[in-house]
Amino acid sequence: MKQAVKWGSRTITVILAVFLLITVFCAASSRMSGGTPKILGLNVYAVLSGSMEPSIQVGSIILEKPNVNANSLKVGDVITFKASQDEFGGQNNDGSAILITHRIQAIKSLNGKLAFQTKGDSNDGPDAQLVQPANIIGQYNNIMIPYLGYYLNFMKTKLGIALLLILPGALLIVSAMVSLIREISKLQKKMNSATKTEGL
């Protein structure tokens, strides 16, 4: 029983440490890159819409290659782009551009320039506006991690930052203190046992 509790405590400590490291890493990476976390040079985006299911699940995070060469894109590629002002409202509540991740359905020309017709895999029809190369910010790298997008999105809120930075750190400190108290208690028992033995 004691062994199970010990392993359970260690497991919780490791999980909290991992989440704390992810939080700190994403926060630092976002600051350095100007808003988008990066892993090994790839942009990290949280997917909070079901328009690309089942290919990309809601609540997942995806890794994308930045600095896309529009001329190398082809039909079937999945790209992330800034929504136009006329589509999807154009921007979030905080003023940042709305990002859409959809699949290229056709390559067309808009006023003599390259443009892409996109569509969400689960949507009935294509997006209303053609995507211009200047609005493309990433190409999906076929790497998806389920559910972590919920965590990443929550982490961006004020409450999320407070809880995810302070709470794991506090729990780790408490866990360390409990372990220290246990070790001190064990040491005291050994010392008491040795004193009794000497008295005999």
Pick the catalytic residue from 9, 29, 30, 49.
49
Count the helix, strand and coil residues of the chain and give each as a percent rounded to the nearest 5.
45, 25, 30
Q: How far apart are the first and last CA of the chain?
A: 33
Three-class DSSP category at 69: coil
Query: Is 44 within 8 Å of 63 (Cβ atoms)?
Result: yes
Greatest CA separation for the chain: 100
Query: Cα-atom radius of gyration of the chain, to the nearest Å?
Result: 25
Question: Tell me, what DSSP letter sits at residue 132?
Answer: P
Strands of the 42-46 sheet, one edge to the other: 38-39, 42-46, 61-65, 136-145, 78-82, 99-110, 113-119
Show the tokens assigned to 195. Answer: 């004193």
- Measured CA to CA, the distance from residue 14 to residue 136 in angstroms comes to 38
Helix (H) or strand (E) run with residue 62 in it: strand 61-65
Is 84 part of the annotated catalytic residue set?
no
Active site residues: 49
